Each structure stands twice: as C-alpha cells, then as structure tokens.
C-alpha cells in the first residue's frame, strides 16, 4: 500500500495530511527518510517511523451490539447521558458507532475502529438494507402502508421505495416491519409521523444480512472475518 495510506490507517492523520507529513521529511522507511509520495510499503515487513517513533497499523475490530433504549450512539454526550461505549467497556481499543440509532431506539448497532469500513457502511451511495420493527400509534390502513412503500414526502425529499410488512394491528396501535436502504436522520420516525402514525417504539432487527440472533439486549459479539468481507462485498456488488 502507499505510505500515506499506511499512515492514515494507523490513525496518524487523514491521507492528505499524511502526504504533507511525508513531504516534510518526517517519515522514515526502514531507517531512511522518504519524501516521495508514491512510495509503497509492505505493512508486514517494512519498518515505518514518524518523527523517530514507530508507526504500527491498528488491528481492526468489529462489534455487533444489541443496543437497549436509553443509550446515545456517540463516543461522549455533552448532556452526560449514557453512551453505547459503556456497554462495551472491556474493549481496550478506541471504537465508535457505525452510523447511529436514536437514544430511544434499540437493536443492531455496529461499532468499529475502522474508518474506511464505517464510510462504506454509511455512505448514501452504498445501499445497505436495514430492517426495522416499529410499533406505531393507531390502526394503520392499507393505503397508509402503500404510501410508506412507495415513498413519503419528508422535508429533505421523497423517501426511496421501501418494503413494508404488516405484523399486527388493532384500534390502538400497529406493528410493522420496514426494509429501507437510506440512512437519513430519524428516517423511520419521520416516515411514520408523515402518514399520521407516530412511532411508539423502534428496533433495528437487521443490517444487511446481519441479525440480532444470539445477542441479548445490552450484549454484543465480535463479527467474524467472513462477515466483514461479506459486508464489504455487499457494497462492492452494489456498485457494479
């Protein structure tokens, strides 16, 4: 890989800043200063230093958390509310959530220290499907379900077509499942409110092919290597 990419992946700086650092002559490759931006390195065998300190690649970790309501999807909260990081306290790496679930939303949330993976998973260009189970106020009629399915007008534009399944309904409330690939802020809540059925409770039950199977509320598990590859492949396949 290119030297600047290596430095960026090691968490030193962005790739552009890393190039600047290389140009300044602060980086040594196997004991010799390099200023050539096209320099390529082998992370397994090469010895890279910045200002005479060894630079090592971070080991990436990927966690699937079953987030309970009452936790904020952030690394810290100015109002002192509990963050999802408090649920993964025994991990000694600086991880952060991949996208977000609202404070009161529960369900599947990924956490990682891999910035490139995060970008792939949340970039609007890549349409990873997310499945939500929502309990909404009132008895939802078939016409309202069709509106959700075809697209709802929100203040930031029409929502893309979605797959909607009715799970149950009575006079007081209805339970529906929504499969969407956009990731706009508070999207499900805004979609349901727009058709006159505000969300009472919301849970993300799937992210791509990942589900909450085997992970109790408040618990987490590590993703397997092949799951990380499959998630990335979903995105690459989507691009073709």
- Residue in the block written with tokens 């990924």: 110
| Mask for 89-128, x = binds ligand URA (CB under 6 A) | ------------xx--x-----------------------
Residue 238 Cα distances to 119, 121, 127, 203, angstroms = 15, 12, 7, 25
Question: Residue count at the site for ligand URA (CB under 6 A)?
Answer: 8
- 105 vs 112 by CB, closer to ligand URA: 105
Is 156 considered catalytic here? no
Among the listed residues 72, 85, 188, 205, the single contact to ligand URA using CB under 6 A: 188
Pairing of the two strands 199-207 and 106-112: parallel
Among the listed residues 26, 60, 169, 186, the single contact to ligand URA using CB under 6 A: 186
Minimum separation from the CB atom of position 240 to ligand URA (A): 27
Q: Does 181 bind ligand URA (CB under 6 A)?
A: no
- 103 vs 138 by CB, closer to ligand URA: 103
- Backbone φ, ψ for residue 149 (5° rounding): -65, -40
Q: Does 189 bind ligand URA (CB under 6 A)?
A: yes
- 127 vs 186 by CB, closer to ligand URA: 186
Minimum separation from the CB atom of position 106 to ligand URA (A): 9
Catalytic residue among 90, 102, 114, 170: 102
Identify which of 103, 99, 111 has the alpha carbon closest to the alpha carbon of residue 181.
99
| End-to-end alpha carbon distance in the chain | 24
The answer to whether the beta carbons of residues 91 and 61 sit under 8 Å apart is yes
Q: What share of the chain is helix, strand, coil (3-state, %, to 5)?
A: 25, 30, 45
Q: Does 187 bind ligand URA (CB under 6 A)?
A: yes
Task: Please name the residues in contact with 51: beta carbons below 8 A apart, sequence gap of 6 or more.
Answer: 26
**Residues lying near ligand URA in the complex (CB under 6 A):** 101-102, 105, 186-189, 202
Q: Which residues are catalytic?
A: 102
């Amino acid at each position: 890989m290119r030297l600047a990419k290596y430095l960026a992946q090691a968490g030193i700086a962005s790739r552009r800043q890393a190039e600047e650092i290389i140009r300044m002559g602060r980086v040594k490759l196997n004991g010799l200063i390099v200023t050539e931006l096209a320099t390529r390195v082998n992370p397994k065998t090469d010895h890279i230093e910045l200002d005479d300190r060894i630079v090592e690649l971070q080991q990436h970790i990927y966690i699937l958390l079953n987030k309970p309501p009452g936790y904020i999807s952030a690394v810290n909260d100015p109002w002192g509310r509990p963050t999802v990081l408090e649920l993964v306290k025994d991990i000694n790496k600086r991880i952060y959530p991949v996208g977000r679930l609202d404070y009161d939303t529960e369900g599947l949330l990924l956490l990682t220290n891999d910035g490139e993976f995060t970008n792939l998973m949340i970039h609007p260009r890549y349409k990873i499907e997310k499945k939500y189970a929502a309990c909404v106020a009132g008895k939802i009629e078939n016409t309202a379900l069709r509106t959700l399915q075809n697209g709802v007008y929100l203040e930031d534009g029409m929502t893309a077509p979605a797959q909607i399944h009715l799970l149950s309904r009575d006079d007081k409330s209805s339970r529906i499942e929504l499969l969407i690939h956009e990731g706009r802020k508070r999207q499900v809540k805004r979609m349901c409110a727009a058709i006159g059925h505000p969300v009472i409770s919301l849970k993300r039950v799937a992210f791509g092919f990942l589900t909450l199977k085997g992970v109790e509320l408040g618990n987490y598990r590590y993703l397997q290597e092949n799951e990380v590859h499959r998630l990335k492949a979903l995105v690459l396949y989507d691009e073709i």
